[in-house]
Amino acid sequence: MIGAILFDLDGTLVDTAPDMGAALNNLLIEESLAPIPLEIIRPYVSQGALVLTRLGFSEQVPESEIEPLRLRYLDHYRAIVADDSVLFDGLEEVLNTLEKRNIPWGIVTNKPKWLTTPLLEQMALDKRAAVVICGDTLDKRKPHPLPLIVAAETIGIACEDCVYIGDDPRDIAAGRAARMKTLIASYGYIDRDARLDEWQAGGIIAHPLDLLSHPFIN
């Protein structure tokens, strides 16, 4: 049986789109611009603050002004980091089942620690996770495999005995490079036109509860 499950954070473990989208719209309103519907923002959330900032402002401001706007966006997001973020439907049952089976689970995210820590603390996930590797924990981040390798070492499980689940091509690239089994969370922040077969993952789960019946952990 598999030794550990590692999750990407945004779009895989936690639905952070409501807060990340609200932060972008708060900034847009502050700049006297129209807010963007959440359904337009959602597919971009896993790609991070820079992509979201460009989504909101690329047509209105020159590229040289994007970085200051990105920093302001992050300040807006930190203020509401866990207001409306929730575990994806079914994941509480998944985590409870893993814990009952004594299968450790952890998080490997490109989100920086100053945003990840308060989010996990307010959701009471920080003490449940066996390991949390953030985007600035190491000098490498996904798609580099080092964060996943260090996560496995921290738990004390061989990479080959871990499953990494994510909703972005860099998640699968990192997992494959770390010699882990990989699963695409197709319920996450994925564009409807994405060619998931091109990601070369070990499998796809359309709903978090599908993990409990997947051959990788049974």
Grade residue 95 by pLDDT with cuts at 50, 70 and 90: very high
119 and 131 inside one domain: yes
Residue after which a domain boundary falls, among 79, 94, 115: 79
0.85 surpassed by pTM: yes
122 and 185 inside one domain: yes
114 and 67 inside one domain: no
CA–CA gap between residue 185 and residue 210 (Å, rounded): 10
Which one-letter DSSP state was computed for residue 214?
A: S
Tokens (6 digits) for 78? 């930190």
Grade residue 58 by pLDDT with cuts at 50, 70 and 90: confident
What Rg value do the Cα atoms of the chain yield, rounded?
17
How many structural domains does the chain have? 2
9 and 64 inside one domain: no
126 and 47 inside one domain: no
113 and 196 inside one domain: yes
109 and 202 inside one domain: yes
104 and 74 inside one domain: no
192, pLDDT greater than 90: no
197 and 117 inside one domain: yes
Residue 15, strand partner residues: 86
Considering the candidates 8, 10, 15, 171, report the single residue annotated as catalytic.
8
Whose CA is closest to 217, among 134, 127, 101?
101
Annotation says 8 is catalytic: yes
Q: Which domain holds residue 199?
A: 4-15+85-217
